[in-house]
Each structure stands twice: as C-alpha cells, then as structure tokens.
C-alpha cells in the first residue's frame, strides 16, 4: 500500500510540473500530501519536513555556494574561453570533436550545465560555420560532456545532494565519476554523432581557428589551474588518506579532501592568480549565487520529500520489494531514478527523490559511492519534452522535435545506460 501511495505522489508531482508549478513548490506540496496519506500526523509531518531540509542542506549548502562562485569567476574572467582556444590549437581541426569533448569535460567540472552551455555555444557555432561542419557534429561532444559531469560529479548539485543523503565519501564519488566520464562521453559525444551524421559530413576547411580576442584572456596555465584546482585538492586529499603512512598527516589530508575546504581554497586562489579586483570578484560571486538560488530551494524541498519517505517506512517496503524481485540495489536505484526522470523531467528532482526511496537498500557490501553514481546515471535517462534541457538543445540548434529526439534524447539515454554499466563494472572490482 505504501508503494502505491508513493506512486500517487509521483503522479501528482508530474501533474504539478506539467502545469508549470515551480518544482520547489510541487515537491513541498507532494511531501505534505504523501506524508498525510502515509499516516504521519500533521505535527510530525512538519517536524519531518524541517528535519529533511536541514539534513540535506546542512552539509552541502556551502559547497554549492562556493562552487557557483568559482564557476562564475572562471566564466567572467575568460578562463573558460582560453581553455577552449588552447584545446582547439592542441588537437587541430582534424580532431576538433576531441578538442570540444575534453574542453567541455574540463569546463563542466566547475561550471553548472547551463553556464557551460552558454559559455561554449558561441564558440561551437563559430567553429561550425568556419569549418563547414554540421553543428550537431560539434554540439553533441559538448552536451554529452556537460551532461555527464552534471549528473555524476560533485560539486554539481544533484550528485552532491545524493552523496550527502547516503553519507558517501565525496572524494571517492569524484574519483569513480572521473573514471566513468571519459569513456561515456566518448561514446555519446564522439561515436554517436559520427554514426548519426555519417552521410552528412563535409570536409573541414584547412584553416586555423584562432580568435583575435584570445590575446586579452588569462594565460593558459592560470585558466587550467583555476578550473581544476578543487578537483586536484579533493583527489590529493582522498588519495592521501588511503596511501599515507605518516599517520600524523592524516588530519591534513582529511581536511584537504573536504569539498568545502577545497572550493574555498580554489575561490581565493582564483581571485589572486587571475588578479581580479576584490570588489569585482565579490560582484561575480554574488551573481553566481543568484544563479543557484532556485536549485538550492529545489534540493531543500527534495530533502523534505526524502525524509517523509524515510519516516513513514516506505524505504522498508522498497527493501522488501527488492528482496522479492532479487534485483541488484544498484540496478534498482538506477531504474527508479530513470523512471522518475522520464516522468517529471528534472534530473535533480529524480536523483534526490530516488535517494530517499532506496536509502534503506544500503548495506550488504553495497558502496554508497556507487549508489550515488547509479542514481546520477539514472537521472539522465531519456530527456524529452518535460525537460528544459530538451528545449534548450532544440531551440539553440534550430532542430525539429524529431531531430531532437533522434540526437539529444538518444544521447542522454545512451550515457545513462553506459553509466549504469560502468557502475556495475566498478562494483565487480570492489
């Protein structure tokens, strides 16, 4: 019966989102309605909602804020553009897809999906027109990379929120996610467009693409260092806690691997090495925070829904169902996230909601870090008309609905399935 009530709640969530209700408001309404139907008293329900919001945001809100600040600093300083130009020059026109894919992976780590999309779009359009290549041949490497980093890698909101719910090691989530990102991005961003567009490719013009504005941008070293510093700090700290033989240094490595510390260091170092005036830097940081305000509120509301599911005992019902079906918890988590993603459109909502449903499945040797990645992969499944990303891709690249389903939706589905396959493969070696 509990599971049927949850399904009713998800249908209600879908209806509200289709009616253009804010996901935050929709999640709060569904949390209240579902909680009451599941038998929580009004007083306990309010306590549960407050607890869910506090527990979800408590360990991650500063990470989200600092990540948004760093992304805005990198964007406004021109560092992201500099990375693009350098990668194009290194790989050359013949391997332009690889240049775009790797650049988008690098930029996609500190920048949120929409910010990375907006930063890279003018360059993608310029390269396409200059080299006489189909725009989708260049757009899919970009969007595949940005999408997979958005779904799998902290400090992006959804994977960070899920890691907080599962109490997973963010450093290990990042390391496992980085292992998965490159091969999945190659499949979705390099191989897929070559198959789809195999009869439409035109030979690229034999010219150099060196935009004149590159001269006024930060140096290559500063640009790469700023973008990758938080990742390097987290990886070094995480690795240090595993391989360190001098136990006196363990507290230092634990401190360094904390995402809040790593991002704070990265923000301060970026302001210093890029020589951004303090007042201007703080303005950029404030603008970055404005861009994620709604995302934070959606995550908070998702945390409330998660707590309602936990306190009402739904997790135990799901655990019993999983035992009856004899399904891998990793696969079941992916399947639920994929179903919610297809239903409601938002990958963030799908990820956080799934985490609340399957939290009780942890144990019996299941890695919480791999659960985070499995849910993240599921939350990318089959983007279609209820996802703003679908319409962004369609309109910016002037595609028909059929073309968008045959490119964007297909690419998202492919990276979701490959993400699950990669998680299951890593699980075999743990």
Give the C-alpha distances (Å, rounded to integers) separating 138 from 28, 100, 188, 238, 370.
40, 7, 12, 35, 31
Q: pLDDT confidence of 207, banded at 50, 70, 90?
A: very low
For the cut 90, the answer to whether the pLDDT of residue 168 exceeds it is: yes
Sketch the domain layout of the chain as residue ranges.
Answer: 58-292+312-428
Q: How far apart are CA 417 and CA 160, in angstroms?
A: 21
The predicted model scores a pTM of 0.82
How is residue 130 written in tokens? 């200059």
Residues in contact with 99: Cβ distance below 8 Å, sequence separation at least 6, in sequence order:
84, 87, 88, 90, 91, 92
Average pLDDT over residues 213-241: 85
The answer to which of 15-29, 136-150, 201-215, 309-323 has the lowest mean pLDDT is: 201-215
Give the C-alpha distances (Å, rounded to integers) separating 5 from 30, 47, 317, 337, 356.
11, 20, 12, 17, 15
Residue 392 confidence (pLDDT): 85
Q: Give yes or no for a contact between 358 and 333, defined as CB atoms under 8 angstroms apart.
A: yes
> What is the tens place of the pLDDT at every residue in 286-343?
998 887 888 888 888 888 888 888 788 776 777 676 667 778 899 999 999 998 898 7
Q: How far apart are CA 321 and CA 7, in angstroms?
A: 14
> What is the tens place of the pLDDT at every residue in 26-84?
889 999 999 999 889 999 999 999 998 888 788 678 888 898 899 889 889 988 888 87
> What is the tens place of the pLDDT at every residue in 348-397?
888 988 998 888 888 778 899 999 999 999 999 999 877 878 888 888 88
Q: Convert 227-260 to b/e letters by CB count within 10 Å (16 or more is b).
A: bbbbbebbbebbebbeeeeeeeeeeebbebbbbb
Q: Give yes or no for a contact between 390 and 409, defined as CB atoms under 8 angstroms apart.
A: yes
How is residue 148 written in tokens? 């997979």
Q: Give yes or no for a contact between 180 and 373, defined as CB atoms under 8 angstroms apart.
A: yes
For the cut 60, the answer to whether the pLDDT of residue 206 exceeds it is: no
Residue 340 confidence (pLDDT): 87
Q: pLDDT confidence of 251, banded at 50, 70, 90?
A: confident
For the cut 90, the answer to whether the pLDDT of residue 150 exceeds it is: yes
For the cut 90, the answer to whether the pLDDT of residue 238 exceeds it is: no
Residue 247 confidence (pLDDT): 63
The answer to which of 96-110, 125-139, 162-176 has the lowest mean pLDDT is: 125-139
């Amino acid at each position: 019966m509990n599971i049927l009530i949850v399904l009713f709640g998800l249908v209600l969530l879908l209806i509200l989102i289709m009616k253009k209700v804010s996901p935050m408001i929709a999640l709060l309404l569904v949390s209240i309605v579902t909680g009451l139907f599941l038998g929580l008293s009004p007083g306990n329900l309010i306590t549960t909602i407050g607890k869910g919001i506090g527990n979800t945001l408590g360990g991650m809100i500063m990470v989200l804020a600092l990540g948004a600040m760093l992304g805005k600093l990198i964007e406004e300083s021109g560092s992201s553009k500099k990375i693009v130009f350098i990668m194009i020059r290194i790989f050359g026109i013949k391997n332009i897809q690889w240049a775009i894919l790797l650049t988008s992976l690098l930029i996609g780590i500190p920048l949120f999906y929409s910010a990375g999309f907006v930063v890279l779009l003018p360059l993608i359009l310029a390269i396409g027109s200059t080299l006489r290549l189909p725009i989708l041949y260049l757009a899919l490497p970009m969007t595949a990379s940005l999408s997979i980093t958005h779904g799998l890698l902290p400090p992006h909101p959804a994977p960070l929120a899920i890691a907080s719910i599962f109490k997973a090691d963010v450093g290990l989530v990042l390391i496992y996610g980085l292992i998965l990102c490159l091969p999945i991005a190659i499949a979705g961003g390099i191989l897929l467009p070559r198959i789809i567009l195999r009869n439409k490719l035109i030979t690229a013009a034999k010219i150099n693409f060196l935009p004149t504005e590159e001269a006024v941008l930060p140096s290559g070293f500063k640009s790469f260092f700023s973008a990758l510093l938080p990742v390097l700090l987290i990886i070094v700290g995480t690795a240090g806690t595993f391989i360190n033989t001098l136990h006196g240094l363990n507290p230092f490595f634990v401190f360094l691997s904390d995402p809040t510390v790593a991002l704070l260091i990265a923000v301060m170092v970026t302001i210093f090495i890029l020589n951004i005036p303090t007042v201007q830097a703080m303005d950029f940081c404030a603008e970055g925070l404005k861009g994620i305000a709604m995302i934070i509120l959606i995550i908070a509301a998702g945390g409330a829904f998660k707590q309602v599911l936990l306190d009402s005992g739904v997790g135990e019902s799901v655990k019993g169902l999983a035992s009856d079906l004899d399904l891998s918890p990793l696969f079941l988590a992916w399947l639920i996230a994929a179903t919610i993603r297809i239903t409601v459109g938002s990958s963030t909502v799908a990820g956080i909601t799934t985490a609340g449903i399957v939290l009780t499945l942890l144990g019996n040797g299941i890695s919480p870090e791999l659960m985070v990645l499995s849910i993240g992969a599921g939350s990318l499944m089959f983007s279609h008309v209820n996802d703003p990303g679908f319409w962004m891709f369609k309109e910016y690249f002037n595609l028909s609905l059929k073309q968008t389903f045959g490119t964007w939706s297909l690419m998202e589905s492919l990276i979701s399935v490959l993400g699950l396959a990669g998680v299951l493969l890593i699980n075999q070696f743990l």
